[in-house]
Chain A
Amino acid sequence: MSENDAIQVILEKCVGCTLCVKACPFGAITMKDKKAVIDLAKCNLCGSCADKCKFTAIVIKKTQLKKIFDFSAYKDVWVFAEQKKGVIQSISFELLGKGRELADKLGVDLAAVLLGENMEDTAKELISRGADKVYLVDSPKLKAYQDDPYTNILTELISKYKPEIVLCGASTIGRSLISRVAVKLNAGLTADCTGLDIDPEEKILLQTRPAFGGNIMATIISPNSRPQMSTVRHKVMKEAEPDLKRKGEIIKIKLDDDLYISRTKLIDVIEDIEETVNLAEADIIVSGGRGLGTKENFAIIRELAMALNGAVGASRSAVDANWIPYSHQVGQTGKTVCPKVYIACGISGQIQHLIGMKSSDIIVAINKDPDAPIFSVATYGIVGDLFKIVPLLTKHFKNIL
């Protein structure tokens, strides 16, 4: 460690009590000669150690805080309304639900930004879901998402209207778009938030997100830049209910032609016809793993999913064995899902799989091995033969639904 490092242990104050070692979520602190030593490679400067230290022996160099900025020009909460083929995606309604709450806490307006072609009627839907204003940029060139024009236009609008908060879905489009906008605006961006709140004193956005596959939660702020930007995980926030009586303003905007230019060209949009319900959207997911034994046996998973109107998921080993395409894979190298009900059949529950599904509301595990790690996260566990139980489940659900 040197004096220039962002975190310092003041050796004279450190008594070697090891409280900081226990406090560190990253395992970055060790004791050497009864003094704390911080491994900067592992340290995330989260401050847990400094908080726990009773001797104020750990100091984090808070950078020369640029509080000189005047952020008073920035107000309102914005939501990027994601549309595909002219249809607003449900994530956007979730953002409006949360955005409304944040705007009310701050006493500001909630606005939605909508880019697309012939979207005026759709814009009204955003108002019914809680937006006070909708900034609408309507052009044939914006019909489908393209990185360049969307980035340019959103950046331009934010620069012009100065919202203090911008929320966007942590979707394929959202993550690609908003990361670029944040860089252009020199703004702080927090990915994949599962919790958003306003600090009652500072009036800043508190963004909570899972890190390391959900084993650690981190609360993050962007104190020195505006807007404060977040992408938000799908299916975590509650959708705003439509209220057709709500009134709001649709602000139609025309911008310089240059901003609409895309360097990339969208040649085709292909929909995966095999899947009726996509995993990210599904309320119910039935997943199969190695315990199925063969590709053909996935049929019983599909039947149960169909009976429940749910989607079909899979563990990595089932995908690697070519029993089912990669687009169904749940877990670290696949998709992260959080449905209401997740039914894991013949999945042992390796940590990489758990990372992708353990925030589901209810988890059902069916496995013949009572020691399988999947049971540690299961709301309901059944130890037994999935080939007997799954078809019976399908039968019973058909009866009651």
Chain B
Amino acid sequence: MDYLLTEEQQMIKDLCRQIAEEKIKPVAAQYDEEAHFPWDIVKIMADSDICGVYIPEQYGGMGKGVFELAIATEELSWGCGGIALAFAATGLGTFPILLYGNEQQKAKYLPDIAKGKKLAAFCITEAEAGSDAGSIKTTAKKEGDYYVLNGTKQWITNGGEADVYTVIAMTDKTKGARGASAFIVEKGTPGLSFGKKENKIGIRASATREVIFTDCKVPKANLLGKEGLGFIVAMKTFDHSRPGVAAQALGIAQRALDEAVKYSHERKQFGTAISNFQGVSFMLADMAIQVEAARALIYSAARMIDSGAKDVAKVSAMAKTFASDVAMKVTVDAIQVFGGYGYMKEYPVEKLMRDAKITQIYEGTNQIQRSVIASSLIKECLAKK
């Protein structure tokens, strides 16, 4: 399908596919097996100017938006959803600064992120605050020119690898969600430490760790926006980042489709390629329909966000939910097309299924997304009355 990409968008897409094909694909299985964090690939992305695609030119980026971030994530994830996450999760950790950072904060942190010298991570989830972000326990207490942070964030992507952490912590517990604030915490700040690296079923090349704050003194200049804005910072960040998760899912799904089509054409049974059997070919057709529909939805949502539209929560959630459900389904089907070989680690499709699963879970489970979508529907309905 022709999505009428501009020349620059096409370049971004082509270059990211080239990185995926030539640099990521050959090492993906090994990095997955060894849970190896892809600093070498980050370096390649940095040298190719990819790291700063969504960061304004004045801070050393390419000045593009959510749409370009999505197409880059899609293509990189085609190579490996886990490796691509080093880039995509940095986007998530950077959005709070892009959206709510003041001039000094942007000038201080964005250029190194744009150049790929530093990665970022977004810290919201806790052991008892997953989908229920209002029940965050990490606190930030103002003491003179500092906020003192205490608490433990869980399952933080890029944890330990990133240099810049954007953290949601409670400045006033009595106010519930309205008592949350967002901070920038630099790696190396006394009191900031990391827990063990999680052993995951998928996206194993990405680092997922606890981020622990123990009397961690953060300069008050690192408060994003103002006190009490934390929850809004988080929600707006997710509105911007969900097309990225969706794009990650899409890249994985596209790869599964490509592998399945190729295999079905090469694999012969009963004297003919299995793609000649309707049972297989219809599966391929259904996979392709779903992948293309996901792409159309993601691209539309991303363009809508970039246009400055106000209420993007619903489309953003739709794109994430649909694309991740598609990725799960399509990767499972790809294994089915591969038959017994698909179940073996020597073939690439089982990894795609493992990588796909997380996209239904993180940055808000698909159940939470559906709640968001449903409540938007009700709100829209009421507004019409």
Contacts and interface: CB of A to CB of B under 8 A. Distances in A.
Contacts of B268: 371
A320 B266 CA distance: 25
Interface in A291-326: 317, 320-321
B107 to A, nearest CB: 41
B266 A371 contact: yes
A341 B144 CA distance: 80
Interface string A362-376: 000000000100000
Contacts of A317: 26
A367 B364 CA distance: 46
A168 to B, nearest CB: 37
Contacts of B266: 371
Interface string B55-89: 00000000000000000000000000000000000
Interface residues of A, number: 4
Nearest to A317: B26
A320 B27 CA distance: 10
B265 to A, nearest CB: 11
A350 to B, nearest CB: 14
A317 B26 CA distance: 9
A186 to B, nearest CB: 43
A27 B26 CA distance: 33
A317 B29 CA distance: 14
Nearest to A291: B346
A321 B268 CA distance: 29
Nearest to A320: B26
A371 B266 CA distance: 8
Nearest to A294: B30
A318 to B, nearest CB: 12
A371 B26 CA distance: 22
A51 B268 CA distance: 43
A75 to B, nearest CB: 54
Contacts of A320: 26
Interface string A125-159: 00000000000000000000000000000000000
Contacts of A371: 266, 268
Interface string B92-108: 00000000000000000
Nearest to B30: A321
Interface string B24-41: 001000000000000000
B27 to A, nearest CB: 9
Interface string B198-227: 000000000000000000000000000000
A371 B269 CA distance: 12
Interface string B275-296: 0000000000000000000000
A99 to B, nearest CB: 46
A376 to B, nearest CB: 14
Contacts of B26: 317, 320-321
A78 to B, nearest CB: 46
Nearest to B268: A371
Nearest to A293: B346
A401 to B, nearest CB: 34
Interface in A336-384: 371
A321 B266 CA distance: 25
Nearest to B26: A320
A122 B26 CA distance: 50
A321 B26 CA distance: 8
Interface in B236-289: 266, 268
Interface in B1-44: 26
A371 B268 CA distance: 9
Nearest to B346: A293
B306 to A, nearest CB: 39
A321 B25 CA distance: 12
A321 B28 CA distance: 12
B126 to A, nearest CB: 40
A315 to B, nearest CB: 13
A349 to B, nearest CB: 14
A320 B26 CA distance: 9
Nearest to B267: A371
A102 B266 CA distance: 49
A384 B266 CA distance: 18
Interface string B344-366: 00000000000000000000000
B158 to A, nearest CB: 27
A320 B23 CA distance: 11
A378 B26 CA distance: 27
B267 to A, nearest CB: 8
B80 to A, nearest CB: 16
Interface string B138-179: 000000000000000000000000000000000000000000
A318 B266 CA distance: 23
A371 B272 CA distance: 12
A321 B27 CA distance: 8
A317 B22 CA distance: 12
A205 B26 CA distance: 47
Nearest to A368: B346
B273 to A, nearest CB: 10
A379 to B, nearest CB: 24
A51 to B, nearest CB: 39
B114 to A, nearest CB: 31
Nearest to B27: A321
A320 B25 CA distance: 12
A64 B266 CA distance: 54
A369 B152 CA distance: 50
A380 to B, nearest CB: 22
Interface string A51-93: 0000000000000000000000000000000000000000000
A392 B4 CA distance: 59
Nearest to B266: A371
A317 B27 CA distance: 11
Interface string B179-205: 000000000000000000000000000
A321 B29 CA distance: 12
B46 to A, nearest CB: 22
A374 to B, nearest CB: 15
A73 B268 CA distance: 66
A375 to B, nearest CB: 14
A1 B28 CA distance: 50
A125 B266 CA distance: 56
A320 B22 CA distance: 11
B51 to A, nearest CB: 25
A304 B26 CA distance: 28
5 contacts: A317-B26, A320-B26, A321-B26, A371-B266, A371-B268
Interface of B: 26, 266, 268
The 5 tightest CB contacts between A and B, nearest first, are A371-B266, A320-B26, A371-B268, A321-B26, A317-B26
